[in-house]
Structure formats: C-alpha cells, structure tokens
C-alpha cells in the first residue's frame, strides 16, 4: 500500500468522526507490518477528557485484533494545513513502534515524518 492509498483510507475514516463539540473531524489509517490496515476516527464527548483521537482509535482497534507491529499511520483532517498527532497519540504509537512513519495530510499533498522526529524523547518504561 502506498502513502496516497493509506491517506485515502484515512479520509474515508474521517467521514465517520463524531465531532459535535469541536467540529473538527479527523481520520487515521494504520498500516501494520503485514499489510493489514486499521482505521479510526475521533470520537468526542461532552466530558472533553473522554474524547478519543483518531490515531488512538486506530491503534486500539489494531491491538484489540492482536496486532502490535506498525509501519505507518496516515492522518487526515478537514481544512488547510498539516495536522499532526497530539502528544498522547504520539506516546501511544511510541509504545508499539518507535520507527513508524507518520503521514500527515497537507491540503492535496502530505508530509512524511518519522515518529522519532515528532516525539524525540518518548517515554519508555520497558
């Protein structure tokens, strides 16, 4: 699967987002090492701290299905400019794959980062 295809799956997942409070829908598509893809979208809640980001939604779904090794994640949001994962999402991804690529939508293009670029000093307790 190439980056464009992965980003397209993230855009499709964005269509399922539940974002009545922020109005900011986000989708993510997580590529596992074996080629399996899991998608996720943000799910907001009136108790803001209970909201779930698209990236953590995709990672949690993959982990629940028994997957632990990831190559890349694509993130798509509405609007202009690049959308980056929040710190919590970066740390969750770091738990499973310190070397994964993070593909962020930027209008009709995308930017590609290593997880280490976005979270150079991630917490590691193992």
- Read off the tokens for 21: 């409070």
Can you state the percent helix, strand and coil of the chain, rounding each to 5? Answer: 30, 30, 40
Catalytic residues: 55
Q: In the structure, how many helices (H) and strands (E) does the chain have?
A: 4, 5
Helix axes 54-64, 3-14, angle to 10 degrees: 100
Q: Are strands 26-32 and 37-41 parallel, antiparallel or unpaired?
A: antiparallel
- Read off the tokens for 80: 């202009």
């Amino acid at each position: 699967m190439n980056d464009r295809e992965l980003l397209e799956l993230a855009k499709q997942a964005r269509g399922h987002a539940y974002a009545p409070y922020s109005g900011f829908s986000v989708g993510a598509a997580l590529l596992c090492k074996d080629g399996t893809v899991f998608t996720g979208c943000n799910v907001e809640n009136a108790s803001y701290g209970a909201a779930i980001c698209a990236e953590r939604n995709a990672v949690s779904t993959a982990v629940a299905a028994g997957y632990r090794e990831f190559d890349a994640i694509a993130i798509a949001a509405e609007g202009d400019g690049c959308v980056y994962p929040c710190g919590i999402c970066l740390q969750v991804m770091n738990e499973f794959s310190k070397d994964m690529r993070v593909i962020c939508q930027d209008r009709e293009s995308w930017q590609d980062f290593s997880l280490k670029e976005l979270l150079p000093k991630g917490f590691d307790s193992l």
